[in-house]
Amino acid sequence: MSAAEPVIGVLALQGDVREHLITLAGLGVTARPIRRPRELVDIDGIVIPGGESTTICRLLDVFDLRDPLSKRLGEGMPAFGSCAGMIVLATSILDGRPDQLPLAAIDIVVRRNAFGRQVDSFETDLAVEGISGGSMPAVFIRAPWVERAGRDVQVLARVGEHPVAVRHRSVLATSFHPEVSGDDRLHRLFLDMVITADGR
């Protein structure tokens, strides 16, 4: 592996950390779990996994990660959030706890558990703009949707009228869990974003 290849961090506070690490490793890149501020220094992009968004937001403060992660994101470090990760990256959360503070890395308002509870989880085939090879399997588990997207945010996919995949510059977010579907095309898209952002 050459030194020019990106190193991707996966926020490892809670959720589908292992699944993202395995998917990224399958693409031949170095992927590391991130739990401490010093571990943010040497990564080129970060994945915020699906899980429980209130817990992840709280643990960002417990592990003193909020400020250094916000700083790296503000400097343009690419990020990819799936399900809870979308909520954590959002500007504003509807139906969240009053003390649940997102990172405001992408200009979206999200609604938590918008598709219903655990028993309402579902899988569907979804066409995603910018992803070649036909539709991809999308697994929705207590998933959010985007209630409002900022003017410069690109909507990549919808379920009905609701955006479920969005992108702005170096930030990608999905309501669903590509890390559990066996389809790595969104991770490939994210890696392309990381390489482009770094000018590799």
83 is catalytic: yes
**Cβ(19)–Cβ(180) below 8 Å:** yes
Contact residues for 102 (Cβ-Cβ < 8 A; gap 6+): 57, 87, 88, 89, 90, 91, 92, 93
The tokens for 148 are 């409002």
179 is catalytic: yes
Which of 19, 20, 57, 83 is the catalytic position? 83
| Number of other residues whose CB lies within 10 A of the CB of residue 162 | 17
162 is catalytic: no
CA pair distance 26, 72, nearest whole angstrom: 26
Which of 20, 168, 177, 187 is the catalytic position? 177
Which of 19, 168, 179, 187 is the catalytic position? 179
Catalytic residue annotation: 83, 177, 179
